[in-house]
Amino acid sequence: MDYMDSGMKYTPNKGQDIDWDQDVTFLPAADGKKLEKKKGPGRVGAVIGIVIFAAVIALMTGLLVWHFHYRKDTRIKKMYSGSMKITNQVFEDTYENSNSTEYRALAEQVVKQLRTLYHKMPQLAKYYVGSSVQAFSEGSVIAYYLSEFDVPHGQEAAVDKAMSSMDKVVDKVQRGLQNSRPGNDLLFEDIMNSALDSRMFSESFSEYYRYSEHTRANTIVPIMSPGFPNTPYPPNTFTQWQLRADPGHVLKLDFDTFNLEEDCRNDFVKVYDSLVAIESHAMEEICGYHSPSSPLIFQSSRNVMLVTLVTNNENNYPGLRAHISQIPRNSKELTCGGQLSGETGLFTSPNYPNYYAPNTKCEWDIQVPAGKSVKVKFSTFLLSELGQENTKDCNKDYVEINNKRYCGEPPTSPVVTSDTNTMKVVFYSDASYVDRGFSATYETFESTDPCPNKFQCNNQRCVNTHLKCDGWNDCGDMSDEIKCKCDSTQISCKNGLCKPQFWECDGVNDCGDDTDEQNCGACKAGELTCQNGKCVSEKKRCDEKDDCGDGTDESDCGRIMNNVQCSDSTYKCENNKCTNKENPECDGTPDCEDKSDEANCDCGRSLFKTSRIVGGQDAEEGEFPWQVSLHIKNAGHVCGASIISQHWLVTAAHCVQDDAKTRYSQPGVWEAYLGLHVQKQNSKNVQKRNLRQGNSVWITGWGATREGGSGASILQKAQVRIINSTVCNRLMGGQITSRMTCAGVLTGGVDACQGDSGGPLSSPGTSHMFLAGVVSWGDGCARRDKPGIYSTVTKFRGWIKEKTGV
């Protein structure tokens, strides 16, 4: 029976005669034929009216059925996690075992009183399904629980609001029952809860893994993802580790292996300063690969911690392994703040350079000799948190100096000064989300001469005087580049800035107002210079016609055109058709009809997730897995190379050129050292890559770290810039050909050097690196106005495929 059917229906009396009023008369028609002509449309109109009326009734009926049946039945499963302190209980060791009689008895009582509390709140009582206790810990007794509600669509916000007021309801209830409360009722305080991350209770989970570990003094407990290290973690799983330390200690969580899918929307680990997943106590969400040289190390604020691993049904990776240990709360390792004195000194956030703990506050009182002033300079400053991405609203984690708060990741590390010989520095972290913190130095200075023999920036930084007006933002606030008078080696930008002359017409708007990119090439103002040298009107750019003849005017238009005429500026698919999209390969979007631009994209991917080549720095483990060190047997490193397949490497020709003593062209004299355990077919690593002037690229190698110096023992990396070929040819005395690419920093200091030859010039894509060039030659190493010269791999792409099949 329909729930809307009341049983009362109207039925007309078919047998009842209609008693018309006998006094009613009808007027005769003056013209019967005319009247008949009008009857036709009347009938049609009546039929149309009936149809429209029926349609409206049907529509209204459908809407009512949807509203009262389907919409009413649209329910959303809402899970809330929470914790509360039971003040009239004392923690027992048996509460740590969820199978013990004591645990079950206390858990049953907690669930019973939670149900009573929810039923006192009308917004919660009608949707409440049930609760379960997840754990107990010390602190009188702290209970951790989950509660489930079946909430109608549109009522989620109201339930969230009601849950957020639970502590007030508990206070009211317990005050009202002070004189009549039975002796065995539990007393609650410090109630906190939050909606559980919906990814934590997905219906797609096929397996659940739950572990509990308690570390003791002088004990290290390992945890690892299911299957580690023999197999990747399984798909569609939820795994959690409830971790404990002894009372009076905090936990240290140290990941020595961490290799998950790159996208946290798929697979992720979440760490909590709690025994249940309360979002207000989430410390960090992590995914991707993290190098052991930049470890993930966390500390709890109390003696409990929760680690969760969530996986979906695709792309399962090796997983994780971590070690758990405990630290006494009164140990020197956990102390921070205090008195700092002397001319100079160093201080850092707790646990730096690893993650600081939540709920931390440190105060440093700095005092330098009388008559001097204090300057604090931060070399590293990382205090980012969800909801505090910028550096203005510092209400979560912050450093406070001179009543001003600093937080986030400032573009330049703060420098703060005082007018006296004292300064107070306060570091504060709230209960959620942590970061790596800061490292700072303090020093004395004369207030009358804050930057001896240096230029003082507006932000209080001091830089060498020769860096003023050199075109580079050395201060970080541009104060060293304003009010400058440009010399003959600089471009005078319309906005008053001075930029190096060699940046003129390099395709990059260095001035910020396009001054350096105007009147470039042989084309007139208002014309576009095509790559083939042809000039066309700027008005013809992006008009869906190949006016240049090489696709230049239709490239980078924000509109993808397939089946365009193939040229040097287009991308050729496997079916020999071309697209005008610039560098479409492996960007996650199929642009070719045959989707060949997204095939074989496993290569060229840096394992390391973050963040000597002369002027470079150590590369992280797994950051450049295609890099090879070529050794002559019994002689050590000679050249670099790049992996392109299981059987082929790309290197420089001069590395394998025979001389009177050694036949370098014979594979038998070489040994190749690489970091990959499993070699892959890496044809995408040498796919065609368009390099614009001004683009940043990476050079890597084990070559000399200075001209005439020795090689590096750790792979070096450096970021350089593609140099305009015309400028480069002038600087290198006319020796540059179309098969060469110039890259470097023309002010000097960063370059490839001896021993780097044959190594890769890597161009970053959306999520991959591409082999753009091979280290070839140069005039010395890292000299001013002497860029490095690289063989342009795209010019040899056809030859490589012909010879190797790759």
- The full DSSP string for 605-672 is --S------BT-EEPPTTSSTTEEEEEETTTEEEEEEEE-SSS-EE--GGGG---SS--TTSGGGEEE
The band of 560, judged by pLDDT with boundaries at 50, 70 and 90, is low
Mean pLDDT check: name the lowest of 600-604, 623-627, 636-640: 600-604
- What per-residue confidence (pLDDT) applies to 89? 94
Token pair in block for residue 710: 């020795």
Cα gap 627→752, rounded to integer Å: 14
Cα gap 145→651, rounded to integer Å: 60
Q: What percentage of the chain exceeds 70 in pLDDT?
A: 79
Give the residue, 407 or 614, on which the prediction is more confident.
Answer: 407
Cα gap 782→744, rounded to integer Å: 8
- What per-residue confidence (pLDDT) applies to 581? 72
- What per-residue confidence (pLDDT) applies to 568? 61
Mean pLDDT check: name the lowest of 184-188, 369-373, 762-766: 762-766
Mean pLDDT, rounded, for 145-170: 93
For residue range 176-233, what is the model confidence (pLDDT) as tens digits? Answer: 666 555 567 899 999 999 999 999 999 999 999 999 999 999 999 999 999 999 999 9
Mean pLDDT check: name the lowest of 300-309, 350-359, 498-507: 498-507
Q: Which of 259, 321, 256, 253 is nearest to 292 (CA)?
A: 256
- What per-residue confidence (pLDDT) applies to 292? 74
- What per-residue confidence (pLDDT) applies to 389? 61
Strand partners, 719: 698
Token pair in block for residue 68: 């009262």
Token pair in block for residue 549: 């003849």
- What per-residue confidence (pLDDT) applies to 195? 95
Strand partners, 742: 789
The answer to whether residue 576 scores a pLDDT higher than 90 is no
- What per-residue confidence (pLDDT) applies to 726? 77
Whole-angstrom CA distances from 763 to 424, 522, 743, 767 are: 46, 29, 11, 11
Token pair in block for residue 724: 């305009």
Residue 176 neighbours by CB under 8 Å, 6+ apart:
none
- What per-residue confidence (pLDDT) applies to 750? 61
Token pair in block for residue 494: 């319309």
Mean pLDDT check: name the lowest of 66-70, 321-325, 741-745, 756-760: 66-70
Q: Both ends of the chain: CA-CA distance in Å? A: 71
Tell me the pLDDT of the chain averaged across its residues. Answer: 82
CB of 408 closer than 8 Å to CB of 389: yes
Beta-carbon count within 10 A of 451 CB? 16
- What per-residue confidence (pLDDT) applies to 7? 38
CB of 223 closer than 8 Å to CB of 215: no
- What per-residue confidence (pLDDT) applies to 641? 92
CB of 502 closer than 8 Å to CB of 520: no
CB of 682 closer than 8 Å to CB of 805: no
Cα gap 699→601, rounded to integer Å: 21
* pLDDT winner (highest mean) among 538-542, 562-566, 621-625: 538-542
The band of 710, judged by pLDDT with boundaries at 50, 70 and 90, is low
The band of 708, judged by pLDDT with boundaries at 50, 70 and 90, is low
CB of 128 closer than 8 Å to CB of 80: no
- What per-residue confidence (pLDDT) applies to 681? 41
The answer to whether residue 1 scores a pLDDT higher than 70 is no
Sorted by where each starts, the structural domains of the chain and their CATH numbers stand as: 75-196 (3.30.70.960), 202-328 (2.60.120.290), 336-450 (2.60.120.290), 617-804 (2.40.10.10)
The answer to whether residue 511 scores a pLDDT higher than 60 is yes
Cα gap 129→114, rounded to integer Å: 12
- What per-residue confidence (pLDDT) applies to 678? 37
Give the residue, 373 or 693, on which the prediction is more confident.
Answer: 373
Give the residue, 106 or 586, on which the prediction is more confident.
Answer: 106
Sign of CA dihedral 776, 779, 780, 782: negative
3-class secondary structure, 305:
strand
Mean pLDDT check: name the lowest of 377-381, 567-571, 594-598, 637-641: 567-571
- What per-residue confidence (pLDDT) applies to 61? 72
- What per-residue confidence (pLDDT) applies to 119? 93
For residue range 103-153, what is the model confidence (pLDDT) as tens digits? Answer: 999 999 999 999 999 999 999 999 999 999 999 999 999 999 999 999 999
For residue range 35-62, what is the model confidence (pLDDT) as tens digits? Answer: 344 444 566 666 677 777 777 777 777 6
18: DSSP letter:
P
The answer to whether residue 753 scores a pLDDT higher than 80 is no
Tell me the Cα Rg of the chain: 36
The answer to whether residue 445 scores a pLDDT higher than 70 is yes
* Claim: this prediction has a pTM higher than 0.85: no
Give the residue, 485 or 520, on which the prediction is more confident.
Answer: 485
Kind of pairing between the strands at 498-500 and 490-492 = antiparallel
Give the residue, 148 or 174, on which the prediction is more confident.
Answer: 148
The answer to whether residue 700 scores a pLDDT higher than 80 is yes
Mean pLDDT check: name the lowest of 508-512, 638-642, 782-786: 782-786
